[in-house]
Structure 1
């Protein structure tokens, strides 16, 4: 979202119940976000879990995490279960998605968002965010995959780009934490982001 769109939102929603989303983001802090879903189609699939962790001062702040399981009655098969390790019974015990997204937005405030292929997560959240707030998330975003692609092209312009999550983490010396869980992937992305910063990319 560009500066003009943010200005318009502040003008029309800056004194409303979601004004906290529209303030200037605090410097030097990111929120690493990850979702687990029933599939990869934002138009049809549902959110199963949402987790996010603050990244600041050279650390991933696990103690300040946001983590919720989301209720869905939508059926999903064994391949989906093998991927995210959430069974239909567990999904049925989650909280309503509107309540989860509401709580997440209150927790998030105006902090910048960080993720791996973050656009998919934001597409999954978009209809729920708009239903609650009346507008799309205005937050500045950073996508780990995009930054790694830029770095790889700069370092080896003629080599193919490898954006496999395990490859990125291994190259940066970061362990894969509880892969294919929302919290584990959010933590791993945060650690990768810090490792990139230690290498001077993309400028801290």
Structure 2
């Protein structure tokens, strides 16, 4: 209830101070974001991988990418889960602390775009809390919400695959969070155009 009290006289890490300083300007960039986790409970589950791609001036910038696998060996071991996929992943591997610091630097003040983005943001916020930081300040747009608004739908949910099918985005083998982020970026640009944003 009084979360702001926790932040009084609290010394934040340097990367967080740098991040906060970027909100003096209006964002000119969108970041399509995908987060892979061990489950759907932000309080108990952890992030396994992050994938994101930049969008500026209605163009997806293939070179503007952040992707990382976070080897959560302790969590997986404690919960009797296999870590084989971590060993097979070709994405760079960083500790959770390193990954979150680099992600925060990458996203800056950009508007975040995702599929059910509130969950992704909450997972990142939980990781930030462990680092004695505040919560993300970025605005966020959800492609599922955008689609429902476009068609005035309230009583149905749409998976990323369903949205891709509706917009005739060829189904590639999405094997990483970056692949999902790219699909999200494509859907976002189509929806943005149709909604006249």
- The normalised TM-score by structure 2 is 0.78
Is 1:24 the counterpart of 2:28? The answer is no
Secondary structure, aligned partner of 1:35: strand
Instruction: Report the alpha carbon displacement of residue 118 of structure 1 after superposing the two structures with TM.
Output: 0.6
Secondary structure, aligned partner of 2:189: helix
After superposition, give the CA deviation of every residue in 1:3-36 in whole Å (9 maximum; x if it has no partner): xx9xxx9xxx9x9433334333323x21011111
When residues 97 and 197 of structure 1 are mapped into structure 2, their CA distance, relative to the original with a 3 A threshold, is same
Structure 1 consecutive aligned stretches of length 4 or more whose deviation exceeds 4 Å: none
After TM superposition, the structure 1 = structure 2 runs for residues 23-42 of structure 1, keeping only pairs within 5 Å, are 23-27=24-28, 29-42=29-42
Q: Please, which runs of 5 or more residues in structure 1 have no aligned partner?
A: none
After TM superposition, the structure 1 = structure 2 runs for residues 39-54 of structure 1, keeping only pairs within 5 Å, are 39-54=39-54
User: How many pairs does the alignment contain?
Assistant: 181
Instruction: Report the alpha carbon displacement of residue 88 of structure 1 after superposing the two structures with TM.
Output: 4.7
User: Hey, what's the Cα distance between the residues in 1 that align with 2:171 and 2:128?
Assistant: 30
When residues 133 and 110 of structure 1 are mapped into structure 2, their CA distance, relative to the original with a 3 A threshold, is farther
Answer with 116-125 or 68-77: which moved more: 68-77
Q: Provide the aligned C-alpha RMSD in A.
A: 3.0
- The normalised TM-score by structure 1 is 0.76
Aligned residue for 2:87?
89
After superposition, give the CA deviation of every residue in 1:164-192 in whole Å (9 maximum; x if it has no partner): 22221121222334435210111001000
After superposition, give the CA deviation of every residue in 1:123-146 in whole Å (9 maximum; x if it has no partner): 111122234463111111101111
Aligned equivalent of 2:188, options 170, 189, 193: 193
User: Hey, what's the Cα distance between the residues in 2 that align with 1:89 and 1:193?
Assistant: 32
**Contact between 1:177 and 1:188, CA under 8 Å: does it hold in 2?**
no
Instruction: Report the alpha carbon displacement of residue 48 of structure 1 after superposing the two structures with TM.
Output: 1.0
**Contact between 2:143 and 2:191, CA under 8 Å: does it hold in 1?**
no
Secondary structure, aligned partner of 1:17: helix
User: Hey, what's the Cα distance between the residues in 1 that align with 2:41 and 2:175?
Assistant: 17
